Chain A
Amino acid sequence: DAKTTQPTSMDCAEGRAANLPCNHSTISGNEYVYWYRQIHSQGPQYIIHGLKNNETNEMASLIITEDRKSSTLILPHATLRDTAVYYCIVSPRRGGSNYKLTFGKGTLLTVNP
């Protein structure tokens, strides 16, 4: 799996947009970008994924650069409950033995009141 680089921690004010960057410069053509988050004392939870187009769902937006070497997860109006560790993962679309998701250390996002 391609490796990702994320900042160790970030802060955001409640109600403001949180923009979490991720570098994945060695991503290959068949690999997706996935974002998961882990709230304290819980297991990780899927947020969003993308291949090359920008994506939006009820939780977040994902912006992937044209060269696919980096991406940004956007939480448009961060709340205190969004305080969590956010993981950026690149992985092939499922098939064969490609079931694994390799979690790195992630970014601890702290949303402040």
Chain B
Amino acid sequence: DVKVTQSSRYLVKRTGEKVFLECVQDMDHENMFWYRQDPGLGLRLIYFSYDVKMKEKGDIPEGYSVSREKKERFSLILESASTNQTSMYLCASSPLAGAPQRGYNEQFFGPGTRLTVL
């Protein structure tokens, strides 16, 4: 089974701190994604990466950056955390060549990190 792990389930930080959220997948997937989830807004894509050192902005990249130095690891960075970044953060991965029986586009999600910025 694909396993996507995130470094913390719960995290509390202070305004202005630099925050790193780490995601690791063990299935050699090329694509990795960071989403945030807020009540009433659903999941929104922050950034994604389709290869090592490659990244593309998602729908809400402002205030975030990412790093992908190794294929299995995708980090989300909050350079200066703010209270409006309090949210659930979800990481996902998918293979370059998705399985046809799964629609070629199945994403595998981690359990999420609930970040609170005080």
Contacts and interface: CB of A to CB of B under 8 A. Distances in A.
Interface of A: 32, 34, 41-46, 49, 87, 91, 93-94, 97, 99-106
Contacts, number: 64
Nearest to A100: B45
* Residues of B in contact with A, size category: 20 to 34
16 contacts: A41-B111, A42-B111, A42-B112, A44-B92, A46-B103, A87-B42, A97-B56, A99-B31, A99-B50, A99-B94, A99-B105, A100-B33, A103-B35, A103-B42, A104-B42, A105-B41
Contact of B104 (A42, A87, A94): A94
A93 B44 CA distance: 20
B74 interface: no
Contact of B98 (A94, A97, A102, A103): A94
Contacts of A97: 50, 56
The 6 closest A-B pairs by CB, nearest first: A43-B109, A49-B103, A103-B43, A105-B42, A94-B104, A46-B106
A45 B109 contact: yes
Interface of B: 4, 31, 33, 35, 40-45, 48, 50, 56, 58-59, 90, 92, 94, 98, 102-107, 109-112
A10 B98 CA distance: 32
